[in-house]
Structure 1
Amino acid sequence: MAALYNSSLFTSTFLLLIATAFAEIRSTQIRSDSRSTIPFDEFGYTHFGRLNLTVTDISFSNPKSGPGSQLGFFLVTREAWQRVLDQLQDVEIRCTLHSDLVKRVFVFDQLQPSDRRFTTSFSVSDANQFTLVFANCMPNLAVSMSVHSVMYNYNPKNGQFDFLSAGKTALPAIYFLFFVIYVLFGGLWVYALYRKRLSVYGIHFFMLAVVILKALNLLCEAEDKSYIKKTGTAHGWDVLFYIFSFLKGISLFTLIVLIGTGWSFLKPYLQDKEKKVLMIVIPLQVVANLAQVVIDETGPFGENSYTWKQVFLLVDIVCCCAVLFPIVWSIKNLREAAKTDGKAAVNLMKLTLFRQYYVVVICYIYFTRVVVYALETITSYRYQWTSVVAAEAATLAFYVFTGYNFRPKAHNPYFAIDDEEEEAASEALKLEDEFEL
């Protein structure tokens, strides 16, 4: 029953965690782990795939148990795994390692009692997506070991090894293409700022910074995946990727909050409640980025990866909800102003824009958090790059929409802060200062 429960738990988390790692060369430390199944990396193999596995420092909580046929490594597809669980439930087998639906890589009965390490190489000729799993079918036995796995595909045409999964081998080119697009977009934005320099606000420079950070993030991601593709390791580009991903995430959410509050568009100041939203969003983005780093570095199936995955999803949802409140407040204020202050036409135009922006933000969040995830889940492993293209295309469309609608423009009613608004803003700031004193 324990084995069945743990196997079911693995199944429930299997689909949740498949999207987080790229199965490069990876070293994993297992310490006193008694799980019946310990999943490692997932990889999309071609007909010329190979797995090199080196396991050292093997030890057991009960030294008398020793190596046996109840422990070992195997490869399994997602489709086959569900059938293996059915076999366990129907008591056709008592250990996942003994199923005829898995590819046994190494069984511990091949070890001598004194052996504490082994190295093996396994060829994969079936083109499919496999997960490397360690099976421990001995109840209450905790295992410790260091696992070094190398998964790659061989290209007989050019004689090169490809350490990226079959469905993700195009990612370096895809990320670099989007990097070039953002560079061009940034150039157009600089040109627009120069041409309309008399109508430029501070937020326009902030928007330029967001585009630059996004471009740098894509460049680092392209280099990161390129080095992994060729060598199996990132050669330090992953560190730069994490840094720019962190800065890009914070700056984008901050930009949405600033636009949603109407800062520099409707008023040249932030209210206390709007400042509090920023104070919530920024720390949450720090936590979200930390969780993502932990997931990426420990692999998608680490012992605590499921917890970190849930933390990341929760924080991301909270951030997405938080950035919507300032837009709702602005819409409410504009609706009230349109009825009372005698400038109904101008305020209705502003109200229309913020309503559109609210809808677009909702669509952007829904598409990148739900649709892209669903696409990655249902798409064949050969076409996993399509979910990346979809996510990046949606993000680019969001950037273009934001830039076009909030671009610097002379006599743009959306940016009109007239003398009365300036005076009201000054009075509000004075009242705040007096209140603080």
Structure 2
Amino acid sequence: MARVSLLLLPVLLSVTQARIHRLFLRNETRFVVHLNTFGYFVNGTLEVKLVSLQLPAEGSTDSSTVGFSLARSRVNGVLSYTAEDTETCTLLKSKSDDTLILFTIDPHTRSVEVKSFNEKDSTLTGYKEKTQGKEAGKGEAGKGEAGKGEAGKGEAGKDEAGKDEAGKGEAGKGEAGKGEAGKGEAGKGEAGKGEAGKDEAGKGEAGKDEAGKDAGKEVKEKSVETEVVSVTGKEMYGLKLALIKFKENSYNFTFNITIGAEDQGLYNLNFHNCRNMRPGVLSPYSLNVEIVEKNPAGFLSAAEIPLPRLYISMAAMFLTAAVVWTYTLLKHRYSVFKIHWLMAALAYTKTISLVFHSINYHFINKEGHPIEGWAVMYYITHLLKGALLFITLALIGTGFAFVKYILSDKEKKIFMIVIPLQVLANVAYIIIEETEEASSEYALWREILFLVDLICCGAILFPVVWSIRHLQEASTTDGKAAINLEKLKLFRHYYVMIVCYIYFTRIIAILLKVTVPFQWQWCQEFLIEVSTLVFFVLTGFKFRPASNNPYLQLPQDEEDLEMDEVVTESGALEGISKVKKTSNGRERQRDPAL
């Protein structure tokens, strides 16, 4: 399974690019898709580019049922929508007590209507259609004036023609014969002129029709032209952005929001298709969206900005603890067991994992996405650290090497359960880190991680409980009461330490995240790392290989001790030495035979 998890890393790293999100959903039927959660400081920016939204036929899509919502959490760390909000369409809200911006997509009017509630000083930038009404009116008026001018010229031409005909008539009376012939020739001429006039008039009408068509094309092209618009605060309400239809039932648009001083906080960006909220109705859609979230200091969310410094500082502390532990093992090398070196390996692996984690966050902050090489190294060390942690805790809980060198069948089963589950938990963690929140697989793997982690935490408690029960029974045996009571005391302390470690890193850390302000949510990671460091130090102190450790001073086997103390009366065995076990190793002592 470890090999499978390592093979998955390059594939997973290509799925997402951290704080620069590229999401593509095909044939999606969820009525609400949680795209992302991000904490914004002053002048933080959100850019959403809807590359493609493919909806069913326009006749089957109701207006005011599709769009985006950007909501500030009413309680920091908790999604702003409660259970009742899932029963009504968020896009149809007419009022809200929280900061909320709605972008309602209307395919029929090719527009995106913006509604804002309790928005104070944030700025929205988008594209809207250019207004053509005034320019079109001026154009029509110009055409009317030109028509009047042409009509005036026509009337004047008719008057001049009437005068010429009257003059011709007076001249015709003097020359009768010529006049009759002239009239005939003139008639023909007038007829020819009339035919020519009709042709010219026909051409003129055709020209007007062609001009009208060209003008119509120009108006149509101008109607899809857009212009940049920027509004602040309450001016957002009622704004209509341009929705571009570039393919059959496919649309796109873009908007950008800059967070103001009074609106900074933790925001949730969601996509809604409220038609799918109706029972028995499934309206599949395809969504391709690009999201870029940024704060003035970089691409990290407000709660993640201190994490690179936090991880590198904790790595220095774990390294210090590991060096002190190594010095202790070298100083008391005769009483060191293999599990002590396993504990040292765990401390060094934890240090390296924190270093890679800090580097990974540093590049995410600078570039908006992790560097694949550093990310792979972090995931490998994180996997090794998780496996070493639970194996070490379980071995200490069974008393292996300290009390016995053979594990019972039920203790072996614990390891057969914990090790594969730890590999699965680390695979789930990697998938969660490298998958978009909006994908359907994200929620599934998050539930798997929570369940597997809970099982592992419970599994490592069983060996400790079994050891405590065994020592309680053995403490009633004659000759072993004092020894077993000391063991029992130590294992009870160890049990309490494990419970506190699980409680602080799994329960209190989550409660801290949902109660502190959004910019202080990094305290959750601080609590987890400090709790882990304290647990490592206390475990090392309890099981240290030192002469003043009351647990390790105890004889390893009572029967062996009794055999070592047997002395003989035979002179033939004179000079035979016995072996005495001490906390500092085995010391050979020469006792004379009785």
**TM bin (shorter chain):** 0.7 to 0.9
Match of 1:124 among 259, 264, 280: 259
- Higher Cα Rg, which structure: 2
Alignment partner of 1:36 is 2:31: yes
Q: Deviations over 1:227-281 (max 9, x none)?
A: 1122211112332222222111111111110000000111122112111101100
RMSD: 2.8
Offset at 1:103?
1.8
Aligned pairs, how many? 396
Aligned partner of residue 244 in structure 2, secondary structure: coil
Distance 1:87-1:384 versus aligned 2 partners, 3 A rule: closer
In the alignment, which of 324, 329, 339 is matched to residue 461 of structure 2? Answer: 324
Residue in 1 aligned with 2:508? 371
1:397 corresponds in structure 2 to: 534
Residue 304 of structure 1 aligns to a residue in which SS? helix
Partner of 1:257: 394
Q: What is the CA–CA distance in structure 1 between the aligned matches of 2:517 and 2:38, rounded to whole Å?
A: 13
Aligned to 1:14: none
Tell me if the contact between 1:346 and 1:413 (Cα under 8 Å) persists in the aligned partners.
Answer: no
Change (3 A) 1:235 1:105: farther
Distance 1:201 1:400 in 2: 18
The AA in structure 2 aligned to 1:194 is L
CA distance in 2, matches of 1:269, 1:417: 17
Do the aligned partners of 1:96 and 1:135 also contact (CA within 8 Å) in 2? no
Normalized against structure 1, the TM-score is what?
0.83
Instruction: Return the letter of the residue paired with 1:60.
Output: L
**Aligned twin of 1:111:** 243
Relative to 1, partners in 2 of residues 1:226 and 1:82: Cα closer, same or farther, differing over 3 Å?
closer
Counterparts of 1:409 and 1:418, CA distance in 2: 15
* 1:357 and 2:494 are equivalent in the alignment: yes
Distance 1:334 1:343 in 2: 10
Letter of the 1:245 counterpart:
H
Q: Tell me how far apart the structure 1 counterparts of residues 460 and 83 of structure 2 sit (CA, whole Å).
A: 42
Residue identity (%)? 36
Superposed, which structure 2 residues align to 1:376-391 within 5 Å?
A: 376-391=513-528
Counterpart position of 2:477: 340
Q: Structure 1: state its 5+ residue gaps.
A: 1-20, 155-160, 424-437
Pick 1 or 2: higher relative contact order, CA cutoff 8 A, min separation 6: 2
Structure 1 residues 94 and 178: alpha-carbon distance in aligned structure 2, compared to 1, 3 A threshold: closer
Q: CA deviation at 1:295?
A: 2.0
Q: Residue 384 and residue 50 in structure 1: after superposition, are their counterparts in 2 closer, same or farther (change >3 A)? A: same
Distance (Å, rounded) in 2 between the aligned partners of 1:321 and 1:48:
45
Q: Structure 2: which 5+ residue stretches go unaligned?
A: 1-15, 112-241, 277-281, 562-594
TM-score, normalised on structure 2? 0.62
Q: In structure 2, what is the Cα distance between the partners aligned to 1:377 and 1:30? A: 30
- Supply the AA of the counterpart residue of 2:342: F
Q: Which deviates more, 231-240 or 111-120?
A: 111-120
Q: Does 1:164 align with 2:296?
A: no
Give the one of 344, 348, 368 matched to 1:232. Answer: 368
Name the CA distance, whole Å, in 2 between partners of 1:283 and 1:45: 39
Of 69, 75, 85, the residue aligned with 1:74 is 69
Letter in 2 for 1:29: F
Name the CA shift for 1:180/1:82 in 2 (closer, same or farther; >3 Å): closer
What is the aligned partner in structure 1 of residue 324 from structure 2? 188
Deviation string, structure 1 residues 47-99 (Cα, Å, up to 9, x no partner): 2111122333432344665796532223112229757976786x7x7735776
CA contact (8 A) 1:267 1:421 kept: no
Q: Distance in 2 between matches of 1:22 and 1:400?
A: 37
Summarize the Cα distance change of 1:257–1:45 in structure 2 as closer, same or farther, 3 Å threshold.
same
